[in-house]
Amino acid sequence: MSTPEVDVLVVGAGVVGAALIRELSRYELKLLLVEKEVDVSFGTSKANSGIVHSGIHDQTGTLKAQLCVRGCQLFPELAAELGFLYKQNGAVVVARSREELVKLEKLAENGRANGVKGLSLLSREELRRLEPNLSAELAGGLLAPSGGIVVPFDLVFALTENAVANGAKLLVGTEVLGIKEEKDGFLVRTNRQPIRAKVIVNAAGLYGGEVAAMIGDHSIQLYARKGEEYLFDRKLEGLVRRTVFPLPSAISKGILVIPTVDGNIMIGPTAHRVDNDDDLGTSLAGWNEIYTEARKLVPALQPADLITAFAGLRAVGTTGDFLIAPSHVSPRFINAAGIESPGLTAAPAIAEYIVELIKDSGLKLRRKREFNPIRSVVRLRDLNPREQAALMQKDPAYGQIICRCEMVSAGEIRDAIRRGATTLDGVKLRTRSGMGRCQGGFCTPKIIRLLSDELGLPPERISKNGPGSELLFGRLREDQEETAKEEKQHA
Residue 471 engages another protein in binding (rule: CB under 8 A) = yes
From 106, 372, 400, 486, residue interacting with another protein (rule: CB under 8 A): 400
Residue 389 engages another protein in binding (rule: CB under 8 A) = yes
Nearer to another protein by Cβ, of 177 and 401: the residue is 401
Angstrom distance (rounded) from CA 387 to CA 366:
40
From 468, 488, 489, 490, residue interacting with another protein (rule: CB under 8 A): 468
Stretch that binds another protein, among 54-62, 184-192, 328-336, 434-442 (CB under 8 A): 434-442
Residue 274 engages another protein in binding (rule: CB under 8 A) = no
From 137, 362, 469, 485, residue interacting with another protein (rule: CB under 8 A): 469
Residue 487 engages another protein in binding (rule: CB under 8 A) = no
From 1, 136, 250, 284, residue interacting with another protein (rule: CB under 8 A): 284
> Which x/- pattern, by CB under 8 A, does the window 294-333 give for another protein?
---------xx-xxxxx-----------------------
CB of 210 to another protein, least distance (A): 19
Residue 474 engages another protein in binding (rule: CB under 8 A) = yes
CB of 94 to another protein, least distance (A): 26
Angstrom distance (rounded) from CA 126 to CA 129:
5
Clarify whether 53 is annotated catalytic. Answer: yes
Number of residues that bind another protein (CB under 8 A): 61
Helix axes 424-431, 152-165, angle to 10 degrees: 100
From 61, 132, 238, 281, residue interacting with another protein (rule: CB under 8 A): 281
Residue 452 engages another protein in binding (rule: CB under 8 A) = no
190 has which bridge partners?
176
Q: In what order do the strands lie in the sheet with 51-52?
A: 51-52, 148-150, 86-87
Angstrom distance (rounded) from CA 230 to CA 288:
11
String of DSSP letters for 230-246: EEE-GGGTTS-SSEEE-
String of DSSP letters for 127-164: HHHH-TTS-TT--EEEEETT-EEE-HHHHHHHHHHHHH
Task: Count other C-beta atoms under 10 Å from residue 173's C-beta.
Answer: 16
Angstrom distance (rounded) from CA 469 to CA 116:
44
Beta strands per DSSP E along 343-449: 401-403, 408-409
Residue 472 engages another protein in binding (rule: CB under 8 A) = yes
CB of 341 to another protein, least distance (A): 22
Q: If residue 169 lies in a helix (H) or strand (E), which one and from where to where?
A: strand 169-171
String of DSSP letters for 93-119: EEESSHHHHHHHHHHHHHHHHHT--S-
Angstrom distance (rounded) from CA 155 to CA 78:
10
Q: Spot the catalytic one: 53, 57, 272, 490.
A: 53
Contacting another protein within 346-385 (CB under 8 A): 385
> Which x/- pattern, by CB under 8 A, does the window 196-235 give for another protein?
----------------------------------xx---x
Residue 477 engages another protein in binding (rule: CB under 8 A) = yes
Give CA separation, 30 vs 12, 163, 368, in Å.
17, 12, 12
Angstrom distance (rounded) from CA 8 to CA 5:
9
Residue 191 engages another protein in binding (rule: CB under 8 A) = no
CB of 281 to another protein, least distance (A): 5
Task: Count other C-beta atoms under 10 Å from residue 369's C-beta.
Answer: 6
Residues lying near another protein in the complex (CB under 8 A): 230-231, 235, 278, 280-284, 286-287, 303-304, 306-310, 385-386, 388-389, 392-393, 396-397, 399-401, 404, 407, 409-410, 437-442, 444-445, 449, 459-460, 463-479
Catalytic positions, written as ranges: 53
